[in-house]
Amino acid sequence: MRYNRLPKAFWVRVAILTGAALLVGCGPMIGWTVNAFAPPQKVSALYKPPPGKKMLVFVDDMINPVSYEPVKAELAAGISSRLKAANVAAETVSYSELLTLVAATPNFNRLAVSEVGQKLGADIVLYVKIDNFSLKDSEASPLWQGKLAGTVRLVDVEMGRLWPDDRPEGYPVRPVEVPSETNPSPTYGEVLSKKLADKLADDIAKLFYDHEISAAEAREQKTKS
């Protein structure tokens, strides 16, 4: 992702406030000053799909089966709604339609991604392969440590792979995690699954449209990259 440089006026304001903070012995305020006055940073899409297309978000866990099946529907729905809201997709195929096709097709796992899209009337398939999904290290432990990671690629049902053109296996999205926490409820995994799916859906959708993030988010992403 490409970040635009901060405007000169911003740094002038920071310099003035920083100088004032130092004069009164408030060095620790410098970091706060930069955070408080930093404008949002513009992030360019990594790839912009052809406009006006019907898209299928196909979340697949065939290689790495998930322990909680609903996370796939949550992830697909989250991505689809964001793509429509950002006008990346004119229309999307519902996850329930995909499930109906899976149930009606005995050899479904032998179908190519493009064939799945064709059968569901999509123009483009956003294929999301789940690489890692975990909610806790041990079923006996009350400590939850959620993590979700995946690889994505865009496939035109007629022409084949659109993006990424240099990675046949797809683009690896930065894994999302939530802070470790203790919760004795056996159903807390449902809550945690929704949090993970929502965070990863947001990251994946934003690969395909221009958007803004805070300066703090930009620093965090650069640290993790």
pLDDT digits (tens, 9 = 90+) for 97-118: 999 999 999 999 999 999 999 9
State if pTM tops 0.85: no
Q: What is the mean pLDDT of residues 87-103?
A: 97
pLDDT at 225: 57
Q: Is the pLDDT of residue 33 over 80?
A: no
Measured at the CA of 73, the angle between CA 205 and CA 71, to 5 degrees, comes to 90
pLDDT at 1: 47
Using alpha carbons, list the distances in angstroms from residue 60 to 79, 99, 150, 169. 14, 11, 10, 13
**DSSP code per residue over 108-158:** GGGS-HHHHHHHTT-SEEEEEEEEEEES-S-TT-SEE--EEEEEEEEEETT
Decide which of 59 and 41 is more confident.
Answer: 59
Find where tokens 């004795």 sit. Answer: 184
Tell me how many degrees the CA angle 34-204-217 measures, rounded to the nearest 5.
10
For domain 54-209, which architecture applies?
Answer: 3-Layer(aba) Sandwich (3.40)
Task: Give the model confidence (pLDDT) of 137-184 as tens digits.
Answer: 777 788 898 999 999 999 999 999 999 999 999 999 999 998 888 988
- Number of Cβ within 10 Å of residue 216's Cβ equals 12
Question: CA 45 from chain center: how many Å?
Answer: 13
The pLDDT mean for the chain works out to 86
Domain positions in the chain are 8-40, 54-209
Tell me which of 20 and 193 has the higher pLDDT.
Answer: 193
